[in-house]
Amino acid sequence: MSAVKRNKDSNQPELPMDGPKPEPVLPKPAEGQRARLKRDASGNGEQHIVAEQVEAVAHRPFDPTKVAAGLHTRVDRGFLDYASYVIRDRAIPNLADGLKPVQRRILWALHEKDDGRFIKVANVVGHTMQYHPHGDASIGDALVVLANKRYLIEGQGNFGNIFTGDPPAAPRYIECRLTELARTELFNDEITEFVPSYDGRNREPVTLPSKLPLTLMLGTEGIAVGLSARILPHNFPELLEAQIAILKKQPFKCLPDFPTGGLMDARDYQDGKGSVKVRARIKTRDESAVVITELPPGTTTESLTASIEAAVEKGKLKVKSIHDFTSENVEIEIKCPSGVEPEKLMDALYAFTDCEVTIASRIVVIKDNRPVELTVSEVLRENTAQLVETLKRELELKEQKLQDELHFRTLERIFIEERIYKLIEKCKTAEAVTRAVHDGFKPFRKQMVRELTDPDVERLLQVRIRRISLFDIAQHREQMEKVKADLAETRKHLKHLTKYVIGHLEGLLEKYGPQYPRLTTKSSRHEEVDVKAVAFKAFKVAYDRESGYVGYKVNGEEFKTECTKFDKVLLVFKDGTYKVTELPEKLFVGPELFYCGLPDRERVFTCAYTDRKASYLKRFKFGGTILNKAYLCIPEKSRILFFAPDTPKILYIRYKPAPHQKINQQTCDPKQIEVKSPKTRGRMISIKDVSSVTTEPTRGWDEKATTTEIVFV
């Protein structure tokens, strides 16, 4: 048997691999070619036309632009289809119910299986996979997130810990069910629009008829193709109050509320188009320790502790020890190092760790099958309008049901009281029975709610003999009055719909307000922390003249200076060159370093130098400098004799011995010299060769010799 090669895109076989090859499929000949075939008496006409067609195809010019254009069109179309699917059906929530598709399918699966008892999460995941075409892992993760947000799903078992970041147990070990809020406010099968599931075997809702502002209640993050959304969670009772304000046409304002608590500065929130700053709540336990009791969103006790340890390693702050005692509540104890006040440690934690985070908000939702960017106010107004429409549809549906019930109860009373059922005893066909019932109700048309129909007749004929024999007219009238009262109340609600919606929201607020208090404290303003001011001096810069290295990892004895991570270092060399550099770890500068310290634009420096013709003294401020750029503070080919910060009280100047030289040493008061820029020449000390310039008498200073004071005019 010959092997058959099958096409990858269909189940049809292609060519036999070892059998006779089929004839090539060529286009049909045109009219002129067919006429020529008929006139060809030799029988070779058909072969002639085939040869012509093959030659035409073989000599057709190849056009690469057409091939490239077709490929680009196919790629572009495929990419757009994929991008559209990811945006609308995976990553971005729908404004109508505030849910992503996977969340909607989880809730619908729970609704279908709901009997009031807990259901194993693995079973819910399996049932949801009838609607969700992706893996079970994404379903399980989304279910855990919904359960931890507390509003819609109630969990039993280990659903992880939002404070510590501990993962949940496997789906086969944990159980869940819908909350009462979800049962009453999310579902109504009679007004839900359905579409076939991905495999056509089931039906799933397009959106749920939600009466809750879930978009802002739950908050969400989603990354699609070229589009991302980050909606911050808000406080449920405050959203209800805002919806009431919208219906009453009053001003309102809503701010985020995070399940981990914290302190929030929302000055830049801009109605959902800006950002918020959230701090951990830190309390002082005693003079030697602080305690973190609430976390910023997006962090856990583990990640927060790791950020503190990283800041310590980088030298940005100092702590004595960190202990995490978190169980049901957050408790991270941080011991202060000796000599550090708790307030300063708190400022450093806010400045250098994840104890303060900035969260940007971007509300992107699917509205009418298109992604749109909205504000908090716009989302709430849309949700409120949808709430009004949903409650109106439910009232209209209830009104229709009450009308139908009232109509049938009226028919039932007439059917039994007036013994219309007796008219069908002699009827021998179904048509005759129906006609007899219609004729029997004609005298009572004024008592009926609407005209009698054939379905009404069928329903009346199904009334059992027992019900007819035990019919209680008083009880029936009482039930009729109750139905009429319900119908009147429903029509009243429809007439005053806004008032009814406000009452519905106030009922929710009264019932659920105490259950969901605000967790994140609103703060009008955080005190801005100066990063440099609160940084700990954890680095000791030193200079080793023998090796020529300077830095905080150098074991030297000169210019020891305590620095923070943010400090710069000023280096001054003997030839008058100076520059400001980043805090060096181990930098080679050579043996000619004259000064190393922290730069200060307003600090006064005193410098004495010589250019071999004369010696000069000056005072100056370095001012601003460009990082790592070399400058000169004395003229070229000069040499520094003395350099020190601030202004010494007196300088002792010794000259080299020379023939006929009467004065070998002098003193001067540097305060006599005005403060100028580093480029100033300064005041001349002497044309003699200077041996040394010091702030104290050194060895070799002759106390008995004549010493005069230099006076600068």
Mean pLDDT of 413-424: 81
| Structure confidence at residue 529 as a pLDDT band (50, 70, 90) | low
Q: Give the Cα separation of 525 and 620 in Å (integer).
A: 41
- Map residue 418 onto helix, strand or coil: coil
As a whole-number percent, the residues of the chain with pLDDT over 70 amount to 87
Position 341 confidence tier, pLDDT thresholds 50, 70, 90: confident
pLDDT of residue 78: 83
Segments of the chain assigned to CATH 3.90.199.10: 92-207
The CATH 1.10.268.10 portion of the chain extends over 386-512
Statement: residue 52 has pLDDT above 50: yes
Three-class SS of residue 635?
A: coil
| Phi, psi (degrees; rounded to nearest 5) at 482 | -65, -40
Superfamily name and number for 92-207: Topoisomerase II, domain 5 (3.90.199.10)
Q: How many residues does the chain have?
A: 713
Under DSSP, is residue 257 helix (H, G, I), strand (E, B) or coil?
A: coil
CA 238, CA 231: separation in Å to the nearest integer? 16
Position 444 pLDDT exceeds 70: yes
Q: How do beta strands 615-621 and 675-676 pair? A: parallel
- Tokens 């989603």 sit on residue: 222
Q: Are 214 and 182 in contact (CB under 8 A)?
A: no
Report the pLDDT value the prediction gives residue 24, as an integer from 0 to 100: 43
Look at residue 147 and tell me whether its pLDDT is greater than 70: yes
Q: How many CB atoms neighbour CB 546 within 10 A?
A: 7
Could you give the 3-state DSSP secondary structure of residue 358? strand
pLDDT at 29 > cutoff 50 = no
Tell me the pLDDT band of 135, cut-offs 50, 70 and 90. Answer: confident
Alpha carbons within 13 angstroms on the beta-carbon side of residue 340 total 24
**Which residues have a Cβ under 8 Å from the Cβ of 551 and sit 6 or more positions away?**
541, 542, 584, 585, 586, 587
* Alpha carbons 501 and 388: distance in angstroms, whole number: 6
Q: N- to C-terminal Cα distance for the chain?
A: 120
Q: How confident is the model at residue 54 (pLDDT cuts 50, 70, 90)?
A: very low
pLDDT tens digits, 321-339: 999 999 889 999 999 988 7
Q: Please say whether the beta carbons of 398 and 390 come within 8 A.
A: no
- Residue 572 CA, chain-centre distance (Å), reads 49
**pLDDT at 531 (0 to 100):** 57
- Taking only the tens place, the pLDDT of each residue in 472-519 is 777 878 888 899 999 999 999 999 999 999 999 999 999 999 999 999
- Per-chain mean pLDDT for the chain: 85
- C-beta neighbour count of 64 within 10 angstroms: 7
Alpha helices, H only, 316-429:
342-352, 376-417
Q: How far is CA 177 from CA 121, 125, 173, 213, 515, in A?
A: 9, 12, 14, 21, 18
Q: Find out whether 579 and 594 touch, Cβ atoms under 8 Å.
A: no
Predicted pLDDT of residue 525: 62
**pLDDT of 430 strictly over 50:** yes
Residue 602 φ then ψ, to 5°: -100, 0
Cβ–Cβ contacts within 10 Å for residue 481, how many? 10
CATH topology of domain 386-512: Topoisomerase; domain 3 (1.10.268)
State the pLDDT at residue 158. 94
Q: Which residues are catalytic?
A: 173
Structure tokens at 447: 């008592």
When pLDDT is averaged across residues 561-577 and rounded to a whole number, the result is 86
Record the tokens describing residue 660, joined without a space.
């006929």
